[in-house]
Amino acid sequence: MRTLLLLLPIVLAACDAQPPAPSSPPTPTGPSEIQQRIAALGEPQRNAVLIRAVRDAGFDCQQVTGSQPQPDAAAKGQVWTAKCSGGASYAVVIGRDGTAQVVGAR
């Protein structure tokens, strides 16, 4: 019984100990594999990827006639400008996971 009383404060102290805080994963830097693959495509292939994103976003574009990379100030993904045959331009942001967000560009 005496041994139990001696161990009791040790056990209680162990119960009060806080578990170590989980470390957050490091923030990835540089383009992801999918972003690198899109950047490495030739312009005709990249235009085909971008028109799919533009159309899936519900915008009217019959053909992407040109695409250019844009500076990515938000650092959330690669930004491409897709120029459509009708004269409209769209900014397409390719996220690290390959998802695309499309907005009308000026």
**pLDDT given at position 4:** 43
Q: Would residue 61 be called left, alpha or beta, if left means φ above 0 and alpha means ψ between -120 and 50 degrees?
A: beta
pLDDT < 70: residue spans in the chain: 1-22, 24-28, 72-76, 105-106
Which residues on neighbouring strands pair with residue 82, listed in sequence order? Answer: 67, 90
Residue 76: how many CA atoms within 13 Å on its side-chain side? 6
pTM of the model: 0.68
**pLDDT given at position 52:** 96
Contact by Cβ (8 Å): 91, 76:
no
- Residue appearing with tokens 């235009």: 47
Q: pLDDT tens digits, residue range 43-73? A: 999 999 999 999 999 999 999 999 999 876 5
